[in-house]
Structures are given as C-alpha cells and as structure tokens.
Amino acid sequence: MSRRPPRRPHARALVDHSVAVGQLIDAYAAAASGGPWPTPAEIESGYGGSRVRPHLTGGLVIDGDDEWAGRYSPQLAALGPHGDRRLDQVVGPNWAVVGRDDPAELMSPVTAQFWDGLGAKVLCLGADVGPMGTILDRHHAAVIRPDRYICAVTSEANDLDTLTDHIRTRGALTPVPA
C-alpha cells in the first residue's frame, strides 16, 4: 500500500509552512538591519498560528459516518499513574485503541489477539481526557494509527470488532505471531 496519495496534502502543508518560516526569518533579518518589522500576517504564518494538519481522505482510514476518521488525534498530556506522560510516550511507534472505559472489554478474543499481535496499546483513558473527550463523548473507542491519525471510531453500525475486520482487510495488516 502506497502512502503517497493520502500524504500528499500533508507533505504540501509542511512544505508551505517551511516556506512561511523562511520568509519570517528573512523578515526578522531585514528588521535587524533597519528594515520594517514583520507584519502580523508574516508572524502568524511563520509561527503556524491556527494552522491545522490536513485531513487524510485516503489510505487506511475507515470513514464511516464520523468526521474524526482521517483527522490528526489530539495529543493527550495526562496518561500514566501520575498523569505525567503524553500519548506519544505511552504508545511509541504503535497503533492505539483508546476509550474512556477499557476498550479491551469491547473486543472479542480474535480482535484482542489481532491488536496484541500488532503491538497496539489498548488504553482506558478515564473521564478526564481533555480534547480527546470531544471524540469519546460520541464514541466508545477510537483507533489511532502509528502516525497519530485517527483510523476509525466506533459507532452503532461499526463496533470495535467490525472496525478491526475492516482495518485488517483494507490495510493488509498481519500481526506478528506470538
């Protein structure tokens, strides 16, 4: 499976941002040499401002009926027993299945074995999940790809076992035998 088509908008956005940062650096250099101070638009563009990551519309994204599939996952800053770890630290370069309640309780043994074979982290986030709460207010669980894009969210039509079957077949993912 090629990642190029779904990544093209993402790569273009990063290149555009890099150009804007370069222009801001040039504007600051000109100001240091007696030129005008950078405009608010240059500062906003160079620092990223309200820029959001592009929504993936292809590749391994199970769209369903929810706008969250294909969007970048909110970063969670309060995981772990002391609330001192970020999602990236807990999950590492792996898949994640997250829910307010334990997503493992929503999985059949076959589904649990599949995610375990991929090295996925299955996380119960609890009640205070910050920005992830927007997603989990409407869904029992979300499946997050290793690149932190949301692959899928559960719904009445797609429980976690059904989503896992879709992910397995569309992504040609094969767990590592235990």
**Cα–Cα distance for residue pair 34/28, rounded to 1 Å:** 10
Q: Are 151 and 93 in contact (CB under 8 A)?
A: no
Distances (CA, A) of 151 to 58, 83, 147, 163: 10, 25, 10, 9
Give the containing element (helix H, strand E) for 162.
Answer: helix 160-171
What is the value of pTM for the model shown?
0.70
Residue-level pLDDT at 2: 44
Is the pLDDT assigned to residue 107 strictly greater than 80? yes
Rg over alpha carbons for the chain, rounded to the nearest Å, is 20
CA-CA distance, 76 to 90, in Å (whole number)?
A: 10
- How high is the pLDDT of residue 119? 92
Q: Is the pLDDT of residue 114 over 90?
A: yes
Q: What is the pLDDT of residue 20?
A: 80
3-state SS of the chain: helix, strand, coil percent to 5? 40, 10, 45
Structure tokens at 61: 């994204």
